[in-house]
Structures are given as structure tokens and as C-alpha cells.
Amino acid sequence: MGKKRKLKKKVGRLEALMWGAAGALVATSVARELRRPPAERTWQGRVVGVPYDYRPPTVERLRSTWWAPEDERLFVPTAYGLGWDLNLGRVARLARQRVSPDAQSNGHLSHRL
């Protein structure tokens, strides 16, 4: 068996393991909610430290998750589903600061690097 084939097989196993772990987390979080009386189900929380939120997404929740430049975190609990989302507002703010330290104060990007 060639090196490429062995590597491909290892990657395939790792991918299967990751999908299996994600499926187990989803199943565990849904089971946790379904065990509660209907009036006590929040459809949001954490399972093994991983955040989940199965409530129907709202525009405000999506916006505050995906665009929160004032939040220091790059990865924030997901707006819908399991895991984390990238805070694009924070990414944009960091990129502006990287391009020009004074870009934030005067509102435009400088071409200096």
C-alpha cells in the first residue's frame, strides 16, 4: 500500500470519527432537552462544554453572533445548531487594526502596512 493511500485511509478514519462525535453530541443535547418537561425545555445549553442552540434563529441573534466587533472572542457560541460561529465583526476590527493602527479612530483604511 502506498504512502498516499495510507494517508487517505487515516484521514478517512479521522473524518468518520469527527462526524461520529458530532452526531453523538447532537443526539445527547436533543435527548437532554426531550427528557425535560415541555415547559422547561430551553433548546439551548452546553453538552460536554460544547454550546448548542436549537431555537429558531432570529435576525437579531444571527447579527449579534456574526457581527459583534466589540466582543473580544473570535469564536462565539453558534446562533443555531451545535458548536461555535466565527465573529466576523471581530475579524474585521482586527484586520482594520492590523492594516492601520489609526484606521479605527479616523474611520478609513490606510494603505500602509
Give the model confidence (pLDDT) of 49-73 as tens digits.
999 999 999 999 999 999 999 999 9
pLDDT tens per residue, range 30-48:
999 999 999 999 999 999 9
- The predicted pLDDT at position 105 comes to 56
Given a cut of 90, whether residue 110 has pLDDT beyond it is: no
Given a cut of 60, whether residue 104 has pLDDT beyond it is: no
Given a cut of 70, whether residue 20 has pLDDT beyond it is: yes
- The predicted pLDDT at position 113 comes to 40
- The predicted pLDDT at position 109 comes to 52
The Cα–Cα gap between 107 and 91 comes to: 16
> For the whole model, what pTM was predicted?
0.75
- The predicted pLDDT at position 107 comes to 55
- Given a contact cutoff of 8 angstroms between Cβ atoms, the answer to whether 52 and 81 are in contact is yes
Q: Which contiguous run of DSSP H or E holds residue 4?
A: helix 3-35
Domain boundaries, the chain: 3-106
Percent of the chain with pLDDT over 90: 76
Give the three cell numbers for residue 111.
494603505
Q: What are the residues whose beta carbons fall under 8 Å from the beta carbon of 85, sequence distance 6 or more?
A: 65, 66, 75, 76, 77, 78, 79
